[in-house]
């Protein structure tokens, strides 16, 4: 029975992983939809790559993008820090820095930068980068241990934003992620029940089929221990 339940548990784990992978792949179009293009609307106007009027902070952002393509994440982070020294209220620079932190595995710093980018973008009515920040806040929370309920709430924020600004991002993207998290939560409950059942069966059944040692219940053991001193005195 244990072997059967373990096989069921293995199939369940495979199905869960595959389902989450499909759910993740279903959200990939938003990356292309939210990817920054030039020209980019900034607080200082419209920045065109290569234009004589390109602000210096934007030059550093473009350098950072090149460093990322070359997998030089430390250099990319440094370039974005220089950009933020020149333009501390630019959501574009904060958002790019969040992406670099995430690439380097620092999810907490990435989350902080994405939230800063979202707040600044909302204040400046930069809807495209506001949507992108909301998306990456939710995605980053999903990657963090124990933060799945917060991730679900963040996806709900993006869904509401999408319903208000469907020309910026489709709300179906966030709905799909909320549904995927709900399914994963339901499956986790089932998984826990299966684990509990397995533990109970392991305790109930002998460790090995050829085990010839008889189990002694607690009452019998206590009785033997109680008689032992009297038997020792009699022997003396």
What are φ and ψ of residue 42, in 5° steps?
-125, 175
Whether pLDDT at 114 is above 70: yes
What does each C-alpha distance from 10 to 2, 6, 15, 191, 193 come to in angstroms?
Answer: 12, 6, 9, 10, 14
For the whole prediction, is pTM greater than 0.85?
no
Distance CA 182, CA 151 (A): 11
Q: Which among 66, 119, 68 is positioned nearest to 90, based on CA atoms? A: 119
Whether pLDDT at 210 is above 70: no
Distance CA 138, CA 229 (A): 68
Region 135-139: mean pLDDT is: 96
Whether pLDDT at 131 is above 60: yes
Domains defined along the chain, listed by start: 2-188 (1.25.40.10)
The pLDDT value given to residue 15: 44
Distance CA 86, CA 80 (A): 10
Q: Give the max Cα distance, the chain.
A: 108
The pLDDT value given to residue 191: 64
């Amino acid at each position: 029975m244990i072997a059967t339940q373990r096989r069921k548990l293995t199939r369940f784990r495979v199905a869960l992983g595959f389902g989450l992978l499909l759910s993740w792949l279903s959200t990939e179009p938003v990356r292309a939809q939210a990817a920054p293009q030039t020209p980019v609307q900034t607080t200082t106007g419209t920045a065109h790559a290569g234009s004589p009027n390109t602000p210096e902070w934007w030059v550093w952002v473009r350098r950072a993008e090149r460093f990322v393509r070359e997998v030089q994440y430390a250099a990319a982070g440094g370039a974005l820090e220089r950009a933020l020294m020149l333009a501390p209220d630019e959501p574009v620079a904060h958002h790019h820095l969040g992406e670099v932190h995430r690439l380097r595995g620092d999810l907490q710093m990435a989350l902080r930068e994405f939230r800063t980018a979202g707040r600044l973008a909302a204040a400046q009515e930069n809807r495209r980068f506001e949507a992108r920040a909301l998306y990456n806040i939710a995605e980053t929370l999903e990657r963090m241990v124990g933060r799945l309920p917060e991730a679900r709430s963040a996806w709900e924020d993006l869904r509401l934003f999408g319903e208000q600004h469907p020309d910026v991002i489709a709300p179906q993207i966030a709905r799909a992620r909320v549904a995927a998290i709900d399914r994963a939560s339901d499956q986790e409950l089932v998984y826990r029940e299966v684990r509990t059942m397995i533990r109970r069966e392991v305790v109930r059944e002998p460790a090995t089929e050829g085990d010839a040692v008889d189990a002694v219940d607690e009452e019998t053991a206590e009785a033997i221990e109680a008689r032992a001193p009297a038997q020792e005195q009699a022997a003396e």
